[in-house]
Structure 1
């Protein structure tokens, strides 16, 4: 019985910051689009500017489901406040790392245990710049 009573407030708190995160979604999508096009520019350096221009629309299209996943997973993991704080500070912290890992595995269809930690670490380091 005590376990049930203890779970109530935790469950009630989950999702309370969802509307605020939804308001920040356009800002998040813009940041994701810029990061994506920047990564494409770095990867295609020396091949001409055409690639980064061509990548802008696909990056924008990718940013929508990714931002939705990040917001959804922040709520599911109960890390909304931490993610919100990190987002407002413009940095990737522990809470964001957990949410990003869950989204990466979800979006590419892998169980969380199969994601290469080195690959995730490289991705997070690039996002921190």
Structure 2
């Protein structure tokens, strides 16, 4: 997988920082799913929750990311469900998801995952990403 390799090769060595942002572009359910991912991130489970979302997507507003299903995903991952449910129900991350989505749209993002290295879009293919990172590190950026 791309991210674990990048983390092992560049992040764990302190050369690169990975910053994840949500992008809710597939209807209202994707907005709720993005908020749920932020709630999972509070407990250190962002990437596992992310993988669960991708594994369970069914298309725009098809019921896969209802509040009930998102809570079931959290339970299956053994998150602190009381904290997760409270976070999701409160809308704690509604503004952040909206801001992240608007920012992504301003950058021309129209799909996920989308990656950038020093503000430049890069393919999610491992070799392309490694090359872009090495070039950025080599140029001192």
For the aligned pair, the TM-score class normalised by the smaller chain equals: 0.3 to 0.5
Greater gyration radius: 1
**Larger helix proportion, structure 1 or 2?**
1
Structure 1 length normalisation: TM-score?
0.35
